[in-house]
Amino acid sequence: SYPIGTGGMMTYANQYARGVKLKLLATYQLFGTSIIVNTERAPNIRTMKDLNGKAIAAPLASENYKAMTIYMAWAGVNLKSLKTRNFTLPGVATELNSPAGTAPVGIVWAQLPTRLLMENPKKFRDLVSNDQLEKLWKEKTGTEYDWLLGWAVNADYAAKNAALLQRVHNAMKETVDWFNAHTDEAIKIVSKKTKDSVPILEETVKAGRVKFLQTSAESQEKAIMALLKVSSQFGFVSKLPDSGFFYRGLR
């Protein structure tokens, strides 16, 4: 119902497969997600392969969780052996923190894993770094970026508003480029808005849990199709889109 919006790449591919008239316009955010282990409940979980047979708390419908399961499978996890439990994102943190909680592992992202680790470093461990995930992605797909979020536009709207879409893209690119070049200043602004502390936001960015890059979807077609191809193999994308999925014309 919106002429333009931002969301998950897998979601847009599924909408396109159902006949929604959309074009993938631009990229926005790279994949960044953490597997947090409660070491008091499971001191022996030290690699992703150790997750076999374990209970995992996660927002199961989220693209972050689905993408992370791809990495887990690549690392030797039998996904069918997992005892998954569905929570909201804040609910995962509550489950991991609560004396009444039982799940030894949770999948979370953005500032939340940083907050858990910084507030109780003896209790929680991040099972795999973002650098390790990026390396695994490159090895398995031969592409540089694992994309999470992008911009999509209604196809009819796109056909009539090329100049406006270019201005929207330029504005977002300028914003993202400024954030990446002036991260310290940007974090202070974000802290005032989100009420997260500056140290938590600084560590979140430093650890690669939040990474933005605004560029045309067309320029990232190979990497995006690699994501959708592997996602379809896991049943997360119902049908691979054709070349008409991509908006072409951004400079």
- Which of the 8 DSSP states describes residue 219? G
Per-residue pLDDT of the chain (251 residues), as tens digits, is 789 999 999 999 999 999 999 999 999 999 999 999 999 999 999 999 999 999 999 999 999 999 999 999 999 999 999 999 999 999 999 999 999 999 999 999 999 999 999 999 999 999 999 999 999 999 999 999 999 999 999 999 999 999 999 999 999 999 999 999 999 999 999 999 999 999 999 999 999 999 999 999 999 999 999 999 999 999 999 999 999 999 999 99
**Phi/psi-derived region of residue 112, left when phi > 0, alpha when psi is between -120 and 50, beta in every other case:** alpha
Q: What's the whole-model pTM score?
A: 0.95
The strand ranges marked E within the chain are 4-8, 22-30, 33-38, 55-58, 83-86, 105-109, 124-126, 147-154
191 burial class (0-12, 13-18, 19+ CB within 10 angstroms)? middle
Whole-number Å distance between alpha carbons of 31 and 142: 16
